[in-house]
Amino acid sequence: MLPSKSYTPDEILRILWSRKWLILAPFVVATLATGVTARRLPKVYRSETVILVVPQRVPETYVRSTVTSRIEERLASINPQILSRSRLEPIIREFGLYAQDLRTRTMEEVVESMRRFVTVKVEGGNAFRISFMNGDPQTAQRVTQRLAALYIAENLRDREIQAEGTNQFLDSQLEEARRRLIEREKKLEAYKTRNSGELPGQVPITLQSIQTLQLQLQGLSESIDRDHDRRVGLEKQIADLQAGDTTAASAGSGLPDAQVSGPRVTRDPADPGTTNPGTGLAQQLELAQAQLQALQTRYTAEHPDVAAAKRLVQDLEAKLMAENARTVSTSTPPVKRTTPGEILRQSRIRELRTEVQNLDKELARKLSEQQRVEQIVAGDRAKVDAAPSREAELTELTRDYATLQQTYTSLLSKREEAKVAANLERNQVGEQFKMLDPARVPERPFSPDVIKLNLMGAGFGLAIGLALAAFLEYRDSTFHTELDVTRALDLLVLASVPLMVSPRERQRQRLLIAAGAATLVAVTSLAAVAIWKSRPF
């Protein structure tokens, strides 16, 4: 290239015109080669189907699904399963795909080659498109249908597995929460049993019990005082009766036997323990008199029972007087005589002493009950005093228990919801994949695109021609115009001689053009062969 040479539009047009054959030759050769190659390339047909994501038919307000992943996330997990060898190999064998390649390549390589012609693309967020390319349009359509069916079935299976997995997880967590809750309940129950009466909620009941027991103690104390007073009165009565008995005995010893009235008890000198038979009549008389007094307190003197009792008393008195008279006439030494009044007095003394004994037993029982109640009151007061410390311990226990109970209730609710969601997936009324646009038999090949290839070949040939022209222009150091001489040598041009090309130079130019065309053909042929060998069928 000449120094200080500038390329004006006229100069560029001159260069293009002068090297027109060098530019047109690669352009024509590349265009023709690309067109021939495009027609000889195998035709590839693409069949596609659209899968729509259908929401669950039960409203979310009634049943909330446990599978909430987006379509992109689900396809990311389903794609590796569908495009695995275990799924694609049966399809290859069923439809007889890549029969020639199976003779020279392994199944793994063929499966990998098939994966490149399966396309899954999300559209609109609630649908996705599945396409498959093959040399036979019917085969492409059937394989696409099979792939769509696999995606639909795999989605149902995955959703059911996820729902079951969620259900099982919640079951395990619920069982663990139940176990911990039972353990805490047992600890809380043992604590309440161990500290019964000392718990904060039991303090009012304990205080009420103390008040009741204090009233009971007051009643027992008053009853004991009354019993003490009664016992003193009974002892005084016994003392008075004993004093009256002594006075009566002293007065009776100075009277003659004939003046003594009433029954007498005589004893045999030979047998001091033998009692006169009159003693039995005296006891009967005493009983009859007591019965008469009891009847007189209830009935009037004209009552038949009162009259009969009076007659019985009179008969017994007469018998006792006669018996005493016979005893006096037959016994020599005088004996002490017992009157009916004395017998009644002795009987009364015995009754009073028996009552005193019973009263002593009742006093002992009441004193024991008083001591027992006082111990219970002391224990209840100790429980009330210990209530503040038990309240702090119980607060710590119930805090954890409330948390565990809330966790268990929440897990139980979620487990029930998960069961309903699992049934939703089993019955196939949840979110599903539905084939919106079934796969069809393609009417025209997807590849090769002849027009596109021809345009690319023409552009490639034109680029090569221009590159060759630019290269030759760069290597050219000859003067073509007077302006080139003036700029390069800074001399005035007096005359110009036309270009004289020798036959050798013409031959050299033809060889360069032929070499460029051959290179273009070779490159185009290599590209066509590479495309041919990389065909999937």
CA distance 81 to 75: 10
CA distance 379 to 197: 9
Omega cis (within 30) before 448: yes
Residues whose CB is less than 8 angstroms from the CB of residue 164 and which lie 6 or more positions away in sequence, other chains included: 422
Q: What pLDDT digit, counting tens, does each position of 473-483 carry? A: 776 666 566 66
Give the fold, CATH level 3, of 44-221+383-444.
Bacterial polysaccharide co-polymerase-like (3.30.1890)
Of 2-11, 279-288, 356-365, 367-376, the poorest mean pLDDT is in 2-11
CA distance 400 to 224: 52
Nearest alpha-carbon partner for 75 in 97, 108, 53: 53
Whats the size of the chain, residue-wise? 537
Burial of 320-333, coded b for 16+ CB within 10 Å and e otherwise, reads bbebbeebbeeeee
The strand pairing partners of 50, in sequence order, are 129, 437
Q: In what order do the strands lie in the sheet with 127-134?
A: 118-123, 127-134, 45-54, 432-437
**Percent of the chain residues topping a pLDDT of 70:** 73
Q: What pLDDT digit, counting tens, does each position of 330-361 carry? A: 544 544 555 777 777 788 888 888 888 888 88
Q: What pLDDT digit, counting tens, does each position of 156-199 carry? A: 888 777 778 778 888 888 888 888 888 888 888 887 787 777 77
Calculate the CA 478 to chain-centre distance: 94
CA distance 160 to 166: 10
Q: What pLDDT digit, counting tens, does each position of 276-314 carry? A: 444 567 777 777 777 777 677 666 777 777 778 787 878
Strand, coil or helix: what is 9?
helix
Q: Find where tokens 């503040």 sit.
A: 388
List the chain domain ranges.
Answer: 9-41+448-533, 44-221+383-444, 222-382
Q: Which pair of structure tokens corresponds to residue 523?
A: 């490159």
Of 318-322, 437-441, 527-531, the poorest mean pLDDT is in 527-531
Q: What is the pLDDT of residue 132?
A: 92
Query: Is residue 5 very low, low, confident or very high in pLDDT (cuts 50, 70, 90)?
Result: low
Contact 125, 35 (CB under 8 A): no
For the chain, give the mean pLDDT: 75
pTM of the model: 0.46
Residue 134 in this model has a pLDDT that exceeds 80: yes
Phi, psi of 56 (to 5 degrees): -65, 150
Q: Which pair of structure tokens corresponds to residue 64?
A: 């909330």
The strand pairing partners of 27, in sequence order, are none
